[in-house]
A and B are shown apart, each in its own frame.
Chain A
Amino acid sequence: MKQNSEQIIDKSLKLTVCFFVASAGLWLLAAALLAYISAAKLTDPFFLSSFEFLSYGKVKIAQANAFVYGWGGNSIFAVTLWVVARLSQAEARGKVIVLFAGFIWNLAITFGLLGILDGHMTPHEMLEMPAEIWPALFISYSIIAFFIIVTHRSRRNSNTIAPQWFLLSSLLWFPMLFLIAWNGLEINPARGTVQSVLSMWFGQSLIWLWLTPVALGAAYYIIPAILGRAIDKYYLAVFGFWCIALLAPWSVVHHLEGGPVPMWIPAIGTVMSIAMIFPIAVASTNFHSTAFLDISKVWNSLPLRFVIFGTLSYTASSYIGVIFSLPAVAKITQFSIINDFHFNQRVYGFFSMIIFGMVYHILPKITGNEIAKGAKSFHFWTSAFGVLILLLAYLIGGLTHGVLAQQPSLNWASSVISSILPYFQITELAFVVLGFSQLVFVVNVWKAIIPNPFAFFTNDDDATNSEVSA
């Protein structure tokens, strides 16, 4: 049988993309477990309290790192590799080296998380994994990024489109952000609160300039691809892209409002946060006015249903972020558990939901194995339900937390914190739901990659066996 060019490209990607998706899934489960432990520890401080390596602070930080670098990093590689190769109409390059680099990446994260649990974390936001593993992460990342760019350079059509801008810029921003932060924090450490500015700038920019562009790029790719129609008002996309590039790195510092740093830093952050409404409006116009032209098709295609959930969540979370950056509101919400709302909204409600959609789109194409519609649908509903419950609990709980914390006469532990205890219980429940949901996702993924794990031993075609392995 003669293969067409798309199938040849998919075949060249099968090994690497499957590897990254499969490892991303395992990290997702690890993060879900850690998320549950940390949520349970907030409702009952004595839960597992005699194990030092499971202290709340350690588990919480390890969870964020497993989520962003384990699940986020691996899925970014998988999605970027595939979309860039498809849009370049070129086969992927250097797959053995990329596979090797991916192996190092995952190994380094494993050691990094064990390091955090063993008490070797650094105090820098989203750079908490011990200093020793970062060179390995940086080099393996650079190798993977290099081969993606090589693939992009060999593209058939020299014109580029929105998904390529977003994916490539995210590919370049991460190492730049990392080098700036690493130089200012570890190699040539700054003194006093300059450290805090830099560490917070890195931690927040990582979400805005690494995870966000990948998810936006994926949405710009998949919406027209599945609907078979062009992005509505596409001419705005270039404006939206450069707005994010220019404004996002400035806007993130508004979290230092009222802190021990010069006033211009949070002030400029607030102004730029407000200006962020332009790129947010552009992306949501592009996505939603296209999607709502054919909403029944969106609903019927599960990958697209995930993606549109993600883009709606992006719009909502970004506008909420703008409101919370205003000084009058920041005063209330600044140090409350609203921070968990922001993180989960952005990383789960937006980024992960789009990635789920992309994985369901990509995997059947490269493996040739369809994923059962019921299983995908179950995953969608549990995820959507779990995320909504989680975010509502953090949002309402965070506002309660913030408002009560502003009453100097209320006792901290017995009045302020006890009033948000019910919300912690809801988040614990939400993490259980999300954990199940993620387990279903991982089973779906592994089943598509290895449909029959025991075939090698038994030559038995019974598909039910495959569940055991996942």
Chain B
Amino acid sequence: MNNLLKFSLGIFLSLGVAWLAFVVGARAQFGDLTPSSETLDEFGNIPSDSDLYPLPVSGLAEQGSKEYLALGCMTCHTQQVRMVEAGFDVERGWGQRPSVARDYIHQKHVLLGNTRIGPDLANVGLRQPDLEWLHKHLFEPQSVVPQSLCPPSPFLYEQVDQASGKTFTVVNDKNESRFIVPSIRAKRLVSYLKSLHQNYELPEMAFVVNEEENIEKNAELLNLPASDVNQSSLPSWLEKQIASGKEIYMKAAPGGGLCFTCHQPSGEGLAGQFPPLAGSDWVLGDKERLIKISIYGLMGEIEVNGEKYNNVMAPPGIPPGSLTNQQIADVLTYIRNDWGNSASAVTSLEVSTVRNKIKGRAPMQMWTAAELSAVDE
């Protein structure tokens, strides 16, 4: 300790060992990851015809990441979905699977963050694909999320007196409308936020299958109806979703679904006119099909539990087609879990994924049963 040289050497070595592990070791282990396909073939190679993930980031989004950094968004937002054993990020709907190191290889600056005063943004591009919503949120977060603590960024927008094709309308809590035109910086930032999604699987990390689906699977294996395996006491989040779904199902005012007028409060429909939901093979079946119907409606001939019906179902909601992702998730969860039905819940993330998939479809263009089954195959 008395010899300065030896002392400095000790000081140097104590740090040097940690440096070897966290810098040299970490770089050697995962500093040179490359994009990969979603699954590997049986020899552990990337199949030659498959897409590689993560996809490269667009130039505009890359510039947007600089705006994100400069405004200090990272102070309140993380961009990482934690492992399932380390937190309930997947359950919260913040991602379909935990984030892994490979997801970040294209980012010049990795903005993981360490505090969540705002929600995690690793998949914000999937949750909020709506351009207008994102712009309104940047201009004044409180106009779309009333209780948000996120600071407004009016300096990214130009306010004009009249609405036009280029403007977005933001309404504040005093019901005053403002018309805003996004600057190039706002556009970059929105493009960056939309580019944030981890909606692909990787060889090291598959999508998380939620618990009810697991129970369903196990039940199939055991040849038992799912309801026998399900616990009688539901988890509180599911109870809440079902309650909210029931309200939408029964509501005949703006914001409601007006479902009960045809399908009846009992879920039994009307023989020959409107198909039942209770025990229906459509309701208990593929979720994607249900979500599509809930967005665009359905017309023409359809066979439910062996019976044929031929009628028109306008896009649900008052006004038609106005249900939000969360509302659709709730109401579908409700009809899958009442009148003796018992099937997995639908999340708003699933709804938004489907909505994205079919966003090219013209508004109000109802599906036909044939179209939906064709998509299935």
Interface residues of A (CB under 8 A from B): 41-42, 45-46, 49-52, 55-61, 119-123, 125, 149, 152-153, 158-160, 165, 168-169, 172-173, 176-177, 180, 184, 190-198, 200-201, 209, 238, 242, 245-246, 249-250, 253, 255, 257-262, 265, 268, 327, 330-331, 334-337, 339-340, 405-409, 412-414, 417-418, 421, 424
Contact = CB atoms under 8 A, between A and B. Distances in A.
A55 B29 CA distance: 38
B141 to A, nearest CB: 7
A406 B151 contact: no
Interface stretch (B77-85, B276-284, B317-325): B77-85
Contact of B75 (A57, A184, A257): A57
B101 A56 contact: no
A368 to B, nearest CB: 33
Contacts, number: 226
Given A209-B15, A253-B22, A192 B105 contact: yes
Given A57-B73, A123-B110, A190-B31, 18 more contacts: A45-B150, A119-B71, A123-B109, A123-B111, A192-B102, A192-B107, A192-B110, A193-B110, A194-B23, A194-B30, A196-B104, A197-B26, A201-B18, A259-B80, A334-B82, A408-B93, A409-B240, A414-B147
B341 interface: no
A315 B51 CA distance: 54
B336 to A, nearest CB: 17
A45 B153 CA distance: 10
A59 B275 CA distance: 59
Interface in B107-137: 107, 109-119
Nearest to A255: B114
B112 A173 contact: no
Interface in B52-85: 69-76, 78, 80, 82-83, 85
Interface in B186-237: 235-237
A57 B71 contact: yes
Nearest to B12: A176
A51 B151 CA distance: 11
Contacts of B339: none
B162 interface: no
B11 interface: yes
A166 to B, nearest CB: 11
A61 B103 contact: no
A402 to B, nearest CB: 9
Contact of A268 (B21, B83, B99, B110): B21
Contacts of B115: 335-337, 339-340
A371 B112 CA distance: 47
A113 to B, nearest CB: 13
A417 B80 contact: no
A161 B375 CA distance: 78
B111 A408 contact: no
Contacts of A149: 4
Interface residues of B, number: 81
Contacts of B8: 172
28 contacts: A49-B153, A56-B72, A56-B151, A57-B73, A61-B75, A158-B2, A159-B2, A165-B1, A176-B12, A192-B31, A192-B101, A192-B110, A193-B101, A193-B104, A194-B30, A196-B104, A196-B112, A198-B26, A242-B10, A257-B86, A258-B98, A262-B30, A262-B101, A334-B87, A337-B115, A340-B115, A409-B235, A417-B147
A337 to B, nearest CB: 7
A250 to B, nearest CB: 5
Contacts of A60: 72, 75
Contacts of A201: 18, 22
Contact of B92 (A51, A56, A262, A408): A408
A57 B2 contact: no
Given A158-B2, A160-B1, A198-B23, A192 B30 contact: yes
Contacts of B149: 42, 45, 413, 417, 421, 424
Contacts of A418: 147
Contacts of A196: 104, 110, 112
Given A165-B7, A180-B23, A258 B14 contact: no
Given A258-B85, A335-B115, A265 B151 contact: no
Contacts of B147: 413-414, 417-418
A337 B11 contact: no
B370 interface: no
Contacts of B241: 409
B315 to A, nearest CB: 26
B30 A193 contact: yes
Contacts of A253: 22
A76 B14 CA distance: 22
A429 B27 CA distance: 45
Contact of A409 (B2, B30, B119, B237): B237
A331 B145 contact: no
Contacts of B15: 173, 176-177, 180, 209, 245, 249
A153 B4 CA distance: 8
Interface pairs A-B: 9 shortest CB-CB = A57-B72, A258-B86, A409-B237, A258-B82, A119-B70, A249-B18, A408-B91, A245-B14, A57-B75
Contacts of B47: none
A325 to B, nearest CB: 13
Contacts of A61: 72, 75
Nearest to B152: A49
A245 B92 CA distance: 40
Contacts of B300: none
Contacts of B78: 335
A243 B152 CA distance: 47
A231 to B, nearest CB: 15
Nearest to B85: A258
Contacts of A152: 4
Contacts of A413: 145-149
A418 B148 CA distance: 8
B12 A172 contact: yes
Contact of B101 (A249, A260, A339, A407): A260
Residue in A149, A258, A421 with the greatest tally of chain B CB atoms within 10 Å: A258
Contacts of A408: 88, 91-93, 237
